[in-house]
Amino acid sequence: MKRVTASLKTKVLLLSIVPLILVTVAITMISLTQARILSEQEINTFEENLLRSKRQELEHYVEMAMNAIEHIVRRSEPGDEAAEREVKRILNDLTYGDDGYFFVYDPDGVNLVHPIQPELVGEDLIGLQDANGKYVIRDLIDIAEKGGGFYRYVWRKPSKGDLEDKLSFVVQIPKFNWMMGTGLYIDDIAKEVAAIRLKVTRNIRNTFFTVVVILAGTVIIIALVGVAINMHASQLADERLRELAHRHVQFQVGQRRNFARELHDGINQLMVSVKFRLELARDKLRKQDDSAVNDLEKGCDVLNMAIQEVRRVSHDLRPIQLDDLGLESALYSMTSDFSERTGIDANVRIELPEQRLPDDIEITLYRITQEALTNIEKHAEADNVGLRIWSRERFIWVEISDDGKGFVPDKQESGIGLLNMRERTELISGRFSMRSKPGAGTRIRAGFAIV
């Protein structure tokens, strides 16, 4: 009943919390997705604006270079070597910033001007590829022949010596049939975009964590409110359930004790009296009729079996030793019989409170010890057994341990003996624990509250 009630409360609580969680998660995911899409669009717009400013700057530099050589090109003729040398000199001297320069190539991809890497001058670079596999010089020449334009590729940055993204703008000098251009490294743009993307990602993550914290706080508040609302009723129900179970156990113990006493003192005594009279009659008839004696002997045997069965049933219902000798003496007698029967040494330490324990606790302690010793005898292969009973802080504890072969609890804890001990303990609101390990023996402990 307690488990069913707890399960029902859990289901009701989940029915109130799960929809809230699902709706919150759905709204959060949609909001985060939209925020991520919008932020990516803004980042792309920001990157495009930066690239646009770079393009305008490159167009300005190329226009400046063309103005610088325009008067020489205008006066020269195709094949004018002097004019070509002068144009190369001017473009070679035109540098800006740490990494700004102009380059010139002929239609075959031979470098004519490169102030930063003069070792490339005169080299045929038509087949040169960058880190992404682009044919850089060939593509730049094609763009220039089509009227000029922009091209993005990877090139070594002079100030750092590393390969970086570069954006170039090229045009054609028609009279010389040259491709001329300049470029700007855009690694700074990549860094700015990466920094902004990191910041946006951090903001989205922080928003997500904030939502999670708010959701967790809401769930906790709802759970606490639900627990607070049901706490009083639950406590009353648990108290009534425990009281009912306790009264039921006490009633059963009393009934069993009365029935066992009736069997032992009533029916059993009558049967013993009948047995004595039958034996007396047998002795008297022994000299007269052997067949009558045989019948009486068989009757005595059957009656003796009935007496033993009545004693066994009486003991199973309620050990008479508990009433006649008390719990401590009954347990000492049990362990003594156990040692004589099995040859296993038993170390017994019993420290009971001065006031006698309630009947339901006494019978439960006795039965748990009896069941544990039975399991040890059947399965443990132990040499030593320990039985300890003590009281502490209004609790009476029993512990039975052995040095046998042990077992894996997950696989064997569902056995009838262990299940009976656990159920007996829980029936009167006790605490039960079992610890075992292969090769290291087993320890069973149960505790019960005493007033």
Mean pLDDT of the chain: 79
Tell which residue, 412, 342, 420, 413, has the closest CA to residue 383. Answer: 342
pLDDT digits (tens, 9 = 90+) for 391-415: 888 889 999 999 988 888 765 445 6
Residues 10 and 50 in one domain: yes
Per-residue confidence (pLDDT) for residue 232, from 0 to 100: 65
Residue 343 lies in a domain: yes
Examine residue 77 and state whether it is found in any structural domain, yes or no: yes
219 and 169 belong to one structural domain: no
Q: What percent of the chain has pLDDT over 70?
A: 73
- Per-residue pLDDT at 138: 92
Q: Which of 185, 215, 235 is the last residue of a domain?
A: 185
Q: Would 178 be classed as within a structural domain?
A: yes
Instruction: Say yes or no: 282 and 356 in one domain.
Output: no
pLDDT of residue 402: 93
pLDDT per position as a tens digit, 146-165: 999 999 999 888 877 788 88
Q: 308 in a domain, yes or no?
A: no
Flag whether 129 is in a domain. yes
Q: Give whole-number Cα distances, 130 to 127, 180, 183, 224, in Å.
A: 10, 19, 15, 64
Pair 218, 126 in one domain: no
Whether residue 110 is predicted with pLDDT greater than 50 in this model: the reply is yes
Q: Are strands 111-113 and 149-156 parallel, antiparallel or unpaired?
A: unpaired
Do 60 and 170 lie in a common domain? yes
Last residue of a domain, one of 185, 212, 241: 185
DSSP 175-223: TTTEEEEEEEE-HHHHHHHHHHHHHHHHHHHHHHHHHHHHHHHHHHHHH
* pLDDT, mean of residues 282-307: 66
- Which tokens hold the place of 236? 């009353």
Per-residue model confidence (pLDDT) at position 272: 64
Give the pLDDT of residue 275.
67
- CB distance 451 to 428 below 8 Å: no
Specify the CATH number for the domain of residue 432.
3.30.565.10
Does residue 1 surpass a pLDDT of 50?
no
For residue 379, count other CB atoms closer than 10 A to its CB: 17
Give the lowest-confidence range in 171-175, 186-190, 246-250, 324-328: 246-250
Query: What is the rounded distance in angstroms from the CA atom of residue 397 to the CA atom of residue 338?
Result: 21
Q: What is the pLDDT of residues 335-359, one digit of tens each?
A: 998 899 899 999 999 998 888 888 8
| Cα 426–chain centre separation | 30
Evaluate if residue 182 carries a pLDDT over 60: yes
- Which of these three, 240, 268, 300, is where a domain ends? 300
Q: Is the dihedral of CA 49, 55, 58, 59 positive or negative?
A: negative
Coil/strand/helix, residue 135:
strand
At residue 69, does pLDDT exceed 50? yes
User: Domain span at residue 296?
Assistant: 192-300
Among positive and negative, which fits the CA dihedral 130, 132, 138, 141? negative
pLDDT of residue 170: 94
Please give the pLDDT value at position 416. Answer: 73
Residues 213 and 231 in one domain: yes
Q: Which two tokens stand for residue 339?
A: 């040692």
Based on the domain organization, do 265 and 327 belong to the same domain?
no
What tokens were used for 29? Answer: 């995911």
**Residue 190, pLDDT score:** 72
- pLDDT value for 80: 84
| pLDDT-derived band at 230, boundaries 50, 70, 90 | low
* Domain-located, residue 310: no
Q: Determine the distance from the C-alpha atom of residue 367 to the mean position of all C-alpha atoms in its chain, rounded to a whole number.
A: 39
Q: Is residue 107 part of a domain?
A: yes
Q: What is the pLDDT of residue 180?
A: 93
Asked if 39 and 149 sit in the same domain, the reply is yes
The Cα 288–Cα 339 span in angstroms is: 48
Count up the domains in the chain and report the number.
Answer: 3
pLDDT digits over 306-328, tens only? 666 666 555 555 566 676 678 88
Q: 326 and 253, same structural domain?
A: no
We report the CATH number of the domain holding residue 178 as: 3.30.450.20
- Whole-structure pTM value: 0.42
Q: What is the pLDDT of residue 266?
A: 52
Do 416 and 368 share a structural domain? yes
pLDDT classification of 8: cutoffs 50, 70, 90: low
* pLDDT score at 195: 77
Task: For 354-371, write each residue's pLDDT tens digit.
Answer: 888 888 888 888 889 988
Question: Would you state the pLDDT for residue 203?
Answer: 79
Give, in order, the Cα–Cα distances in Å from 300 to each of 12, 286, 289: 66, 14, 17
Identity of residue 24: T
Output the pLDDT for position 2.
Answer: 44
Tens-digit pLDDT profile for residues 9-58: 666 666 667 776 777 777 777 877 777 787 777 777 777 787 888 889 88
Q: Are residues 143 and 36 in the same domain?
A: yes
Q: Is residue 314 part of a domain?
A: no
Question: Which DSSP state fits 108?
Answer: T
Label residue 309 exposed, middle or buried (CB < 10 Å: 0-12, 13-18, 19+). Answer: exposed
Report the range out of 71-80, 231-240, 250-259, 266-275 with the highest average pLDDT: 71-80
Judge if 271 and 177 occupy the same domain: no
